[in-house]
Amino acid sequence: MGLKIGDLNVQKYQAGDTVHYLAESTVRFWFFGNVQVEISTHSKYVDGYFVKSFSASKTNRGDFTSKIYWDGKKYVVDAESYKFENQQPVMGMVQWCSAKTFFEEMESEKTFISEVYGLTTKIEKVEMGVYRTIISGNENEYSYEAGKLRKVLLENPIKNFQYKRVD
């Protein structure tokens, strides 16, 4: 089962032609010292496509931000995380990001972008209701029941995480 180390709250709303996804997480755990992380991500979609995100991480190891936006030809990326930076643009429109996964069942072979890293991958269907993404070598698995996200397993170089839906 594991140890509860934090909470994640997600929200979806529409304003005009833009769908907004908000995810806020607070995590605290021991890893050769106390680790505290607060992450806030705001992603925006227009006509079913990802158009912009802002992600902020406040940690006891530093504060980091990542910004991604569609400029009409490509995604401009300015991503900074713990021991990671990325300014490589992303070509081609993207339909999935992590915040959207909480509200809709993923679709196999669609392009997924990490709002924190600004990296993309194709969504892989593992079996009925189970999908996988691989970002920066980390395998993440998303499990759905009746179209609702039930569990996410996130691989991380520091510590692997699991999110479970609380109804």
pLDDT digits (tens, 9 = 90+) for 33-61: 777 788 999 999 999 999 999 999 998 87
pTM above 0.75, yes or no: yes
CA distance 110 to 94: 8
106-119 pLDDT, tens digit each: 999 999 999 999 99
62-89 pLDDT, tens digit each: 899 999 999 999 999 999 988 889 999 9
pLDDT band at 160 (very low <50, low <70, confident <90, very high): low
pLDDT band at 150 (very low <50, low <70, confident <90, very high): very high
- Distant-in-sequence, close-in-space partners of 165: CB < 8 Å, separation ≥ 6: 148, 149, 150, 151
Residue 99: strand, helix, or coil: helix
Q: Considering only residues 29 and 72, tell me which one the structure prediction assigns the higher pLDDT.
A: 72
What is the model's pLDDT at position 132?
97
Q: Which of 30, 54, 57 is nearest to 42 (CA)?
A: 54
Mean pLDDT, to the nearest integer, of 86-107? Answer: 96
Please classify residue 88 by burial: count the beta carbons closer than 10 Å to its beta carbon, then call 0-12 exposed, 13-18 middle and 19+ buried: exposed
Mean pLDDT, to the nearest integer, of 118-123? Answer: 97
Residue 101 has pLDDT above 60, yes or no: yes
